[in-house]
Amino acid sequence: MGTSGIVEKVVVITGASSGLGESTAKLLARQGAKVVLGARRKDRIDAVVNEISAAGGKAVGFAVDVTKRVEVEALIKGAVDSFGRVDVLVNNAGIMPIAPIHLLKVEEWDRQIDINIKGVLYGVAAVLPQMQKQKSGHIINLASVFGIKVFAPGGTVYCATKSAVRALTEGLRMELHSENIRCTIISPGAVESELKNGTSDPSSAAFVKDLYRRSPFRPIRLLAPCCTPLNNLRTWRSMKLLCVPPRRTSEAR
């Protein structure tokens, strides 16, 4: 499928300093999008922006912690100030600390809720007025296959947060499609990124690393189909994309 529909689109991406966010920014910039990168690590964001700019792309970056609503609002404002509009928001920031529930990693539960759920909501709250003003837009939320299939012990809270993202995105689709605002759920399987490094429980960390060793996606392999909705803004209202390890079948539905 061609990528002409991406040219000149303004795409805001959270969690853009590494992994899927970084790969998304680089891919879309190569296809002609204007990308706006947000993440906590300003040095990494600056490095990605410089790399995109050196290759002839258009990019700006902002330090943002998605758990802080005012910083997410500043990210969207920065996008509008830089490029005049926001066509797409990719809510990509997320963490995955895995541990059995009986270990009571309550601080990690709170952190997952703050980033994986509230971070998405803050993104929606920040960008929605701008998209309503434009009378168009596209919100893409990163969920997970573990938002569909729960794995336990270990992933109970993470799976709950990603199930919430799926429910939220479906509700947004139902509420916003009449305003010409599309909503998409992306549910990846194991993707090579820093996500696997966030587990403090040693036995759970070993399990996660073994899972990624056996069946990782490189981010760039996942992102090509993820761009599909950007190419069909007139026809797509919602797409749910399930990505599984390479030896199985990919399903878009």
**What are the extents of the domains in the chain?**
4-94+111-149+157-192+217-252
pLDDT for res 193: 59
User: What contacts 24+ positions apart, CB below 8 Å, involve 70-76?
Assistant: 72/14, 72/38, 72/119, 72/122, 72/123, 72/125, 72/126, 73/122, 73/125, 73/126, 75/12, 75/14, 75/36, 75/38, 75/126, 76/12, 76/126, 76/127, 76/130
Tokens of 104: 């009571």
pLDDT for res 20: 85
Average pLDDT for consecutive 10-residue bins of the chain (253 residues)? 73 91 91 94 93 96 97 98 96 89 93 96 98 95 86 87 95 93 84 62 70 58 44 37 35 28
| Catalytically annotated residues | 158
pLDDT for res 144: 85
Cut 0.75: pTM above it: yes
pLDDT for res 180: 93
- Domain at 4-94+111-149+157-192+217-252, CATH from 3.40.640.10, 3.30.1340.30, 3.40.50.720, 3.40.50.300: 3.40.50.720
